[in-house]
């Protein structure tokens, strides 16, 4: 059975009219360890923290934050277009602009034909962004990266994540489904996540020429060493560790911390200063604050893709089959009536 949803905006209007009482305001709550916002407050240009949620036994569709995010996407289009405007990107910037414009237009007076046309454009855009994303991921390697490749990589990745959100909305508006029969959204989301994780691994473990040594690498020689020994940023190390799944599966964060700090407990400590010990560990590793900054950006993008997956879970909550494409709540009706 598909459950009925209520829009947050409708509830807010009732509060403003005095027909309902707002008992508790939303407020920002941050995790002490990661610094991440864990309440339902939005961060600018970041995906809404939920699509639907149970509030006082009423299922709420978060239309206010969704529409705020879509406004921000429209505002950032020019920045993305500027980053991918040269001939190497062929017509990618034009296709992205056309998709966003067509999406906005088709929801003004939604029809099945226009929604399917918008979805078709989005399907084509999947392939375009994946193609350029692969190339830019290679250019973001430790040895090749420069400021321009980083700017372009960020633009294409952000456009890619935005596209997943828009395609999910189109799937819901058309058939109240989260994905196609071929599970296209899930598969393509997985491809993006795989690329991001692979690049993050390089930024954590590679040496100055982008080579990752076979076998276990002492933590002090990796980006964790730079973050903990040079920057003394425990929260940053935790954020990166929390996205380093292969390490998480075999080592606790406390064990990693102890391993990195163990350079101060080696025998030669009596003859070398702490700075000399650090310099020795970092020799020919190519570690830097820039690598930390980029690693954190990759973690942010992985958080965004994880948010998309959370939407899929929200929309199929209580479904007998967790791989279902059918939403268990009626989002379609609200999407098609949102401008009425």
> Given strand 58-61, what is the order of strands in its sheet?
6-7, 58-61, 52-55
**Closest by CA position to 54, among listed 96, 93, 3, 10:** 3
pLDDT digits (tens, 9 = 90+) for 2-28: 666 667 676 677 666 555 545 444 455
- Span 47-72, mean pLDDT? 83
pLDDT digits (tens, 9 = 90+) for 166-219: 999 999 999 999 998 889 999 999 999 999 999 999 999 999 999 998 888 999
CA 132/CA 311 separation, integer angstroms? 26
pLDDT above 90 (res 149): yes
Per-domain residue ranges for the chain?
219-291
Averaged pLDDT of the chain: 87
pLDDT (0 to 100) of residue 21: 47
pLDDT digits (tens, 9 = 90+) for 312-321: 999 998 888 8
pLDDT (0 to 100) of residue 42: 64
pLDDT (0 to 100) of residue 321: 81
pLDDT above 80 (res 338): no
- If pLDDT is split at 50, 70 and 90, which confidence band does 270 have? low
β-strands 6-7, 52-55: how paired?
unpaired
- Span 292-309, mean pLDDT? 97
pLDDT (0 to 100) of residue 25: 45
Full-model pTM: 0.87
pLDDT above 70 (res 59): yes
pLDDT (0 to 100) of residue 51: 87
Q: How much of the chain is helix, strand and coil, in % rounded to 5?
A: 60, 5, 35
* Cβ neighbours for 158, distance < 8 A, ≥ 6 positions apart: 76, 80, 301
pLDDT digits (tens, 9 = 90+) for 21-55: 454 444 555 555 555 444 555 677 789 888 888 76
């Amino acid at each position: 059975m598909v459950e009925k949803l209520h829009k947050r905006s409708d509830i807010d209007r009732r509060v403003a009219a005095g027909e309902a009482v707002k008992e508790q305001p939303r407020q920002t709550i941050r995790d002490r360890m990661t610094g991440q916002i864990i309440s339902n407050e939005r961060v600018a240009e970041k995906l809404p923290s939920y699509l639907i949620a149970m509030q006082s036994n009423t299922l709420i569709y978060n239309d206010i934050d969704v529409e705020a995010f879509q406004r921000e996407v429209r505002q950032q289009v020019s920045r993305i277009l500027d980053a991918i405007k040269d001939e190497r990107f062929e017509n990618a910037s034009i296709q992205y602009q056309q998709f966003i414009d067509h999406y906005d237009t088709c929801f003004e007076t939604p029809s099945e034909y226009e929604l399917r046309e918008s979805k078709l454009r989005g399907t084509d855009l999947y392939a375009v962004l994946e193609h350029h994303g692969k190339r830019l991921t290679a250019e973001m390697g430790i040895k090749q990266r420069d400021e321009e490749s980083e700017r372009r990589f960020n633009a294409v990745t952000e456009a890619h994540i935005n596209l997943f959100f828009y395609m999910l909305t189109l799937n819901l508006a058309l058939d109240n489904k989260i994905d196609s029969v071929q599970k296209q959204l899930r598969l393509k989301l997985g491809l993006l996540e795989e690329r991001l994780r692979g690049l993050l691994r390089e930024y954590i473990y590679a040496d100055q020429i982008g080579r990752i040594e076979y076998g276990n690498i002492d933590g002090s020689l990796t980006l964790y060493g730079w973050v903990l020994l040079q920057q003394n940023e425990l929260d940053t190390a935790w954020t990166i560790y929390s996205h380093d799944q292969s390490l998480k599966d075999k080592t606790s964060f406390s064990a990693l911390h102890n391993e990195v700090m163990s350079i101060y407990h080696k025998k030669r400590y009596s003859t070398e200063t702490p700075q000399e010990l650090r310099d020795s560990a970092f020799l020919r590793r190519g570690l830097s604050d820039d690598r930390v900054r980029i690693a954190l950006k990759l973690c942010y993008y992985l958080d965004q893709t994880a948010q998309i997956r959370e939407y899929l879970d929200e929309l199929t909550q209580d479904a007998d089959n967790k791989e279902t494409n059918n939403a268990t709540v009626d989002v379609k009706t609200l999407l098609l009536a949102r401008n009425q």
